[in-house]
Amino acid sequence: MPLSKEQVKIYEHEGFLLLSNYYTPAEIDVLKAELLTVFAEDTPKRVLEKERGMVRSVYGSHATNAVFNKLARHPRIVEPARQLLGSEVYVYQFKINAKSAFGGDVWEWHQDYIFWQKEDGLRSERLASVAIFLDDVNEFNGPMFLIPGSQAEGVIDRSAQPVNDVMQ
């Protein structure tokens, strides 16, 4: 499913592209049903909330779960990524984030790439992140804020900046 010229233009300008209703409710239900299995697995790839012990993230489920493996290789994800990057693509990281409404630890403002660069030695920020929201996202249930055009600023190392400077 190729992106339109207008969608590519939006991505290049804003740094992200939101595709509403990209998956059907039935497809989302299949993904959500798999979460029970993935979250129940006692593995070092499962990260729990500090205080409540609820699942916060699970890494690498595409390598062990047939549904998430198929999702990671699905043409509706792979083809637009190829189109935007102009090359073949691969899965660098697959992560399921669980965020409870009104609760749970927060994710501080960040760019993903700086962590991959510092912790994994990833040498180029030439990548695309894909997020699939399994629930409606609004101001009450753990929204993710995207800053239009922020990709033009390049890599921002928050750890090297005083907190006051980051918030301005």
pLDDT reported for residue 153:
81
pLDDT reported for residue 22:
95
Q: What is the pTM of this model?
A: 0.83
> Distance between CA 49 and CA 35 in Å, rounded?
16
Interhelix angle 75-85/5-14, rounded to 10 degrees, is 70
pLDDT reported for residue 163:
52
Instruction: Report which residue type is found at 87.
Output: S
Q: List residues bridging with 55 in a β-sheet.
A: 48
How many angstroms from the chain centroid is the CA of residue 84?
Answer: 16
Residues of the chain with pLDDT under 70: 100-104, 107, 142-143, 158-168
DSSP string of 37-92, one letter each residue: HHHH---TTEEE-TTT--EEEEE-GGGT-HHHHHHHT-HHHHHHHHHHHTS----S
DSSP state for residue 2 in the 8-state scheme: P
pLDDT reported for residue 38:
96
Residue 96: burial class (beta carbons within 10 Å; 0-12, 13-18, 19+)? buried
Which is the CATH superfamily of the domain at 5-166?
q2cbj1_9rhob like domain (2.60.120.620)
Residue 119: burial class (beta carbons within 10 Å; 0-12, 13-18, 19+)? exposed
Q: List residues bridging with 46 in a β-sheet.
A: 58
pLDDT reported for residue 168:
47
Cβ distance 110 to 155 under 8 Å?
Answer: no
